[in-house]
Structure 1
Amino acid sequence: MKFMTKLFAASTLGVMMFSSVAYAQYCEVADPTSTLLNVRQGVYGKVTDKLHDGHEVDIIRTSYDKKGKPWVKVSYWKGGDYREGWVYRNYLKCY
């Protein structure tokens, strides 16, 4: 019985941790430069898209580069297509 209680507690904790990651955070592009924000395949990866300031995105994952700078995987709609990619976190304004 103790084993089952520990197993249930561990699985519940795992679900709670997964659930907190599963919720997307609403943001919009707020690049301080006059250029469009590059969307990449990965952190420092190949540029696959560009977004204007004010474009709405959802953060679905966070990572850090070797210097500790934050990068996020985002999802967004553009031209009727659902897309995903990585952007530098400091160029987003989130709510």
Structure 2
Amino acid sequence: MTATRLGLLAAAFAAGLVTTPAFAQNRCAVTDPTGTPLNIRETPNGEIIGRVTNGAGIRVINTSSDERGRAWALISPRGRNHVVGWVYREFVSCY
């Protein structure tokens, strides 16, 4: 991962901690109705950098919208060897 990507993720993470601390503590899971793994992206609607399985527990760090107004969530999957990145918010349920 390049220094630029690390810097962007660090900035997004820091912004999420400052702007949405209560939301970041919710328990959430991937709920893609197709049942397939959900793509994790570098930026909202950006390059795919990983996948997270349907039903997996995740932590939402921050939310944003893309140029079309679609909601995206910056997530950190629970467990080991996870990729922090953006997923389409419609496929995330928090409880």
Q: Say whether the fold is shared (TM-score over 0.5).
A: yes
The count of residues paired between Structure 1 and Structure 2 equals: 77
CA distance in 1, matches of 2:54, 2:77: 13
Q: TM-score, normalised by structure 1?
A: 0.70
> Gaps spanning 5+ residues in structure 2: where?
1-17
Offset at residue 82 of structure 1 (A): 4.5
Identity of aligned residues (%): 34
Partner in structure 2 of residue 36 of structure 1:
37
What RMSD, in angstroms, separates the aligned Cα atoms of the two structures?
2.0
Offset at residue 21 of structure 1 (A): 1.4
Higher strand share: 1
| C-alpha spacing 1:66/1:22, structure 2 compared with 1 (3 Å) | same
Larger-Rg structure: 1
Corresponding letter in the other structure for 1:22: P
Q: Deviations over 1:47-93 (max 9, x none)?
A: 11111111011111110112211001001235x22431100000011
Q: TM-score, normalised by structure 2?
A: 0.70
Would you say the 8 A contact 1:77–1:83 is kept in 2?
no
Corresponding letter in the other structure for 1:93: S
